Each structure stands twice: as structure tokens, then as C-alpha cells.
Structure 1
Amino acid sequence: MSNTGGLCSASESTMAGLSFLCCGVLLFASIFLNPISCHARFRPRDAAHKALFVFGDSLFDPGNNQYLNDSSQEGAGATVFPYGETFFKRPTGRLCDGRTVPDLIAQFANLPILPPYLQPGDHQFTDGANFASAGAGVLDNTRPGSINLRLQLSYFKDVVKSLREKLGEEEAKRVLMNAVYLFSIGGNDYFGFSQRNRVASEESEGQYVQSVIGNLTSVLKEICDLGGRKIAFQNVGPLGCVPMTKVFDPSIGSGCAEEPSSLARQHNRYLAIFLKQLETQLPGFKYAIFDYYIALGDRVANPSKYGFKEGKAACCGSGPYRGMNCGRTENGTQMFELCSNPSEYVWFDGGHTTERANTQLAQLLWDGAPPVTAPLNMKQLFSF
């Protein structure tokens, strides 16, 4: 037999084996060399594959705000040096020198780092999506122009529709029920309230917290109605301790402002109560709460305990504790100072932690034990 037919033309004695090999080569090519095909459908052969959907504010924003029309939005400035310098070697729109907590969680879960949802181009939604937006709040009017939580939910509904169209109803349902949903939201609501109400009554504070929690739980219930069953929260941090707070009130000095931190503590208590109630009401519902308030607060107060040299001032910025202007230039003049080694700092800029701090915090969220992360951690959520 002539060999001019190529690999698939062989003697009859080897025809079966080579035919099998040809099919294997073609299958390999179709899966690994055709990204459009891979994007177009989810292959249920990998039953362990689970998506990650991220909702939140600037702590979790992977760069969505750079695609908004309003260039004045928080996060738009994270497209300039020195943001992104540590890991990405370029600014990506993340308010950090490198990776944020969701980036690290995705890597721990063997997922790709999720791109901004608003980034143009194709997205592999069977890996998940990141809707977080710098400045976003639970309440619609917290930071007009940002992607507030209700709008993030709307984007998620668009993703659900896309999954149903591409995968079919049953497979999309399986993806959504197996997925893990990660949140970090509320800080901007309380930071804004404390700035507008310097001396607020306990009653008005309580009513405001209830309003935020009510709107948050409404969104959570809608996600559960769409199939979500595994929820993870990074709770609201010690807002009164961020370097930016000291810019607004220099009298705080090296301490922490009480009112915004008090609001955060109230929020965190109500959030824990609600999630526990939801667990008893919704079959299959599982959740994790990472006590970001305590974990970050301890690193601010005791940086050397965790390998940092500085816990109160930011690596990048100007003013008290470098709490403002990171990345800002005027007429070609740099308006900020920059530390030589961000890994020595808890804070990278006036309100956001360094990649090294994020790595420690993400590890606690991923596989930390009670009471820091409870009743489950994210590693356990991904295992179900």
C-alpha cells in the first residue's frame, strides 16, 4: 500500500491502531487548539470544575471601573503607575500593587484569574465572572456611577441567560448550583454615612445598618432563586483604621476612628445572623464568613507579628499616613511618595492592602478555621 495517504493511510495490520491515534490527535486539536470551541460549550467530563462569581467593591475590583464612562470614578486612577507593579508588572485597574483576594482565591481553586466583567471580548463564564466595582455600595445612591450591587446582580442575570443559551437549562442549573459566590460589599455605604453624619444617633445608625442589610439580603435571595447555594463573605473591615480616614480627620493620629468601625461591627453581626437563618430555610445552602474585620485589624495593630514593618501608613500616597493621591500626577509632577518594598506594608494606598497582605488574608478565607473563617471556608465550599 502506498504511503502517500499520510498518517491515516497504513497497512491493514496497523490500520485500527493508527486510526485510533488519528482520532486522538484530532480530539486533542479540537479541545486545546480551538479556544472558540472551548469557550462555546462547557464539557461536563470535568465534574470537579466549579465556577467563581465575585460581587463587591474596590477590594475585589479587577479593573471594571476603567471601562465606565465616568473617569472620575474610584478605580479609574488604578490604570497608572505604580498600581500593578508587583505581580502584573503593569497597571490593570486593580487598587493594589498586585493580586487581590479574588485573584488568589481563583488560583487556589485551580481557576484562571477572572478578568473584569466589562472587559471587551469573549468570556468563559463556566469559570465564573467578577462584577466588583470600586466605590460600589449595597445601596444604589452610595456612589452614583459605580456598579452598585443591584447592577452587579443585573449583570449576573445576563450571565445566567448566556449560560442557559449555550449549555441548556439542566447543565446551566448544575453550573450555578455548584458555583461559589464571593462577596465583599458594604464598606463604602458605611464610610459614606460616617462622613455625612459626624455625630449620628444610635437610632439613625441602627436604621441605616438595617437598610443596608435589607438590600443585601434581597440580592442574596435572588441569587439563591437563580440556583446559588454556596456563599462566601469577606465581612466589612475596620473602616476607622484605613489611612484615608486619617486624611479626613488628622486628630485620629495613629489610632482609629470609632464611628465607621462601629457601623462595620453592627453590619457584621446582622450579616452572620441572616446567613445562619438562610441555612435553616434553604436546602443545600452552605456559607463561609471570613472575619476580615479582625484579621486585618490585627495586622494594622501588630504588623511585625505577621512579617510587616508598617501597619498604619500606606506604601503609596501623600498626606497623613500617605492616605491619598497614590498614582496622581499634576503637570508631569508626581504628587505621591512610594515605598521601596510594598511587601513590608499592610496598606498599599489609602484604602487598599498590598498583595502580600492580600495573600495572607486570602489564605485565611480559603482554608482558615473558626472563628476566623466559619462555619466553613472556601476550600470546603469548593469541595462540595
Structure 2
Amino acid sequence: MAKNTNSLFFLGVLTSFTLASLPVSGSGEPPLLFTFGDSSYDVGNTKFFSSVFDPATVWPYGDSVDDPTGRWSDGHIVPDFVGRMIGQQEPIPPVLDPKADLSQGASFAMAGAVALGSQSKTVAMNFGEQISKFVEIRKNWTDEERADGVYMINIGADDYLNFAKDHPNANPAEQIALVASVLTRISRELMKLYRSGGARKFAVQNLGPLGCLPIVRQEFKTGESCLEMVNFMVKTHNERLIHLLRAMTVPYRGFRYSFFDFNGEILRRISEPSRHGYTDATTSCCGTGSRNAFGCGYNNVHSKLCSYQKSFLFFDGRHNTEKTNGEIANLFYSGDKNVVSPVNIRDLVVRSVSDLPAQAI
């Protein structure tokens, strides 16, 4: 029954346009899709990367689709929905799967990935290593396919969450210095993806209000409040990230992007949960503790699972439910300029680089 329900959910997301209106690349085929980032975009790379137990590969992850595939949700995640919307029939595979069919693109994202530093090989490929992996195997796709492809980026959350745990008393100057370092690294890797990888069309979401995550509220004991230190870094990061993207269109004339205000959409749902169909927007559906935010998927943790995932904003302590992911993807794909600018993903796909606007700095 869960699979049938999930199929109906996909159909509901896609009712706003017909198969005839699905965007296609210059070749007449759906564009390739590539994703980079952390657990929010991970479609299963983690389980191929390390022998360490990956809770996202077991129930109750994937509960809404009867299939725990390594996605950190009860069902599909944002790139899955976007892939359907741009015309792909199957979700893109984890690039580390030795049996992966890379004909429609691939996911390079991995749980725990950061923008800064060199991660232990038992943890995750960091952002730079993901980009390097793409450049290494880029010949799997033609120059035209890579130029027409969509490159979804979501990175930085673990940098700020890790910093808050390690430096809870950091002053604002130290926090801003970290933001500057993170964005410098992101800029460098985007340049590499553009220059060496042939990427032209980027779909970048900003960071959500990390200080409001159930796991952060629970671990830092903030009560009904969010952790301001983390949200300050996120706010600074997001403000500077949009300027970074705008600036990159000057030296890189073919660089075009969609920038999605993920932060604003999550805050709206936290502030007015009932308006968006939620009964709870501050507690996890799966886990244990004051916010039900820890231990989902671990056999040695007696975590609880909510009876109706669609009534929750968060599935576990830091990841969204499939319902939330579907709504976010729909806005990213076809939202107006109040939530995604200068164009949405639909326009990014159907228009050539020369016809897409480069925002003035």
C-alpha cells in the first residue's frame, strides 16, 4: 500500500504540467542531473563508501515507499522529485554504486560531507572530493550533455553544526571567519566544476535554519527557542552565498543559476505549521529524547516512530519528511521569484545559457 500511496503523491506533485510540457535539453532528451552535498541529497553513496553501519539503509527510513535505500527520509528526497519534473523516469543513482547506470546523471552527495577540510575516508567525501570525482569521470557524458545538465548543490550544514559543537563559546568574529572560509571553498569548487567539469547550469539552495533543527534544540537544550549562534552563521552564509553566485557570472560568462530560499520556506513552516498541513514542526517523527531527535534507525536505540509522517516537518533530527521534500522540490522547480531567483529550475532547463539572465551585482 505504501508504494501505491507514494505513486499517487508523485502524480499529485506533477499535475501542474503534462508530459508534453516536460523540459528537454538541446538534444531533445531530458537533461542530465547531478547532485552534490550532504545527507539531504545523499541517495545511498554512504553505504558504498564505508563499512560503518548506515542507519538510512534500514527501516524506518524509506517507510513511506517500503524501501530504505540510504535516503535520509521516510521516502523520496528533493533531487528525486526534481528528476521526475525534468523528465527523468528513474531517480539518479549513487555514483559509488559499481552497478550504477550513469546515463541520466549521478549523485555525488554523501552524509557528513563538509565544505572545509579533508574528511577521514571512513566518514565521507567532502565537497571538493565530490567535485574531483565528477571531473575524473566526466567523459561518461559528452560536452553538450554536461553543459545542458542541471547541477544541484546543497553543502555547508555540517561545517556549521560541527563548529557549534566544537566551539560553543565562539565569538561573532570567529563565526564570521568560518563563514568566509566555507564560502571561499565553495567558490573554488564551483569554479572547478565550471572550468574542468563543463557545468553551466547550477541549482543552489541556501541553508535552512539549522539552529531550529530538532536535534539542535535537543542537544543544546534550547527549549522552545532555536540556537541563535548557528542561525547567525547560517544567515550570514546565505546572504553572502547569493552575492557569490552573482559575482561568478562576471568572469564566467556561461555560469547561470537558480537560487532557492530553502531557509525561508522552512521558517514559514515552523512559524505556521497548520497552514502547511503539519501538526508538529519542531519535533522529529522518528527518534528518542525531548524532541524525538536522536537514534532513528539504530537497533540499540528504542526510538519512536510517529503514526503519520505527513503531519511532521522533520522525519528525524535534521532531515525532512517526504511530504516536505516534495513541496520544496515543487517550489524549486516552478516557484516564483519570491522563493527562487533569478529563474527557477524549469526555466534553467528550457532556456539556453545565452538566454538566461545574469543578475547585476
- Give TM-score scaled by structure 2 length: 0.86
> Which residue of the partner structure matches residue 65 of structure 1?
46
Q: Which residue of 2 aligns with 1:152?
A: 130
Structure 1 residues 45 and 352, CA gap change in structure 2 (3 angstroms): closer
- 1:28-67 equivalence runs, <5 A: 46-67=27-48
The residue that corresponds to 2:239 in the other structure is 269
Q: Pick closer, same or farther for the CA change 1:257–1:143 going to 2, 3 Å.
A: farther
Write out per-residue CA displacement over residues 213-246 of structure 1, whole angstroms, 9 at most, x where no aligned residue.
0111000001110321111111111000000002
Partner of 1:96: 73
Runs (4 or more) in structure 1 with deviation over 3 Å come to 141-144
| Superposed displacement of residue 371, structure 1 | 2.4
Provide the C-alpha distance between the structure 2 equivalents of 1:159 and 1:50, rounded to a whole number of angstroms.
18
Measure the CA separation in 2 of the matches of 1:323 and 1:286.
Answer: 37
The reply on whether 1:135 has 2:112 as its aligned counterpart is yes
For residue 35 of structure 2, what is the amino acid of its counterpart? V
Distance in 2 (CA, whole Å) between partners of 1:263 and 1:70 is 33
AA at the equivalent of 1:301: S
Displacement of 1:100: 0.3
Give RMSD over aligned pairs: 1.6
- Corresponding residue of 1:342: 309
Q: Which structure 2 segments of 5+ residues have no match? A: 1-24, 352-361
Q: Which runs of 5+ in 1 are unaligned?
A: 1-43, 164-171
CA distance in 2, matches of 1:55, 1:294: 21
Cα separation, partners in 2 of 1:205 and 1:142, compared to 1, 3 Å:
farther
One-letter amino acid of the structure 2 residue matched with residue 217 of structure 1: S
Q: Of the candidates 285, 292, 301, which is equivalent to residue 315 of structure 1?
A: 285
**TM-score under structure 1 normalisation?**
0.81
- 1:86 is paired with a residue whose SS is helix
Q: Deviations over 1:113-132 (max 9, x none)?
A: 1111111214233x111000
Q: What whole-Å deviation, never above 9, does each CA across 1:57-105 have from its counterpart, x for those lacking one?
A: 0100001101122415xxx111111000112x12111110000000000
Q: Which residue of 1 aligns with 2:294?
A: 324
Partner of 1:110: 87
Matches of 1:365 and 1:45, distance apart in 2: 22
Structure 2 match to 1:19? none
Cα distance change on mapping 1:98 and 1:143 into 2, 3 Å: farther
Alignment of 1:146-295 (within 5 A): 146-163=124-141, 172-225=142-195, 226-250=197-221, 252-295=222-265
Bigger radius of gyration among the two: 1
Secondary structure, aligned partner of 2:313: strand
Measured in 2, the distance between the counterparts of 1:383 and 1:320 equals 46
Structure 1 Cα separation of the partners of residues 349 and 38 of structure 2: 23
Identity of aligned residues (%): 32
Shift of 1:364: 0.9
Distance 1:235 1:349 in 2: 20
d(CA) in 2 for partners of 1:142, 1:366 = 32
Contact 1:317/1:324 (<8 A) preserved: yes
Equivalent-residue separation in structure 2 for 1:159 and 1:366 (angstroms): 27
Aligned residue type for 2:186: L
Counterpart CA distance in 2 for 1:329 and 1:285 is 46
Q: 1:209 to 1:316 in 2, by over 3 A?
A: same
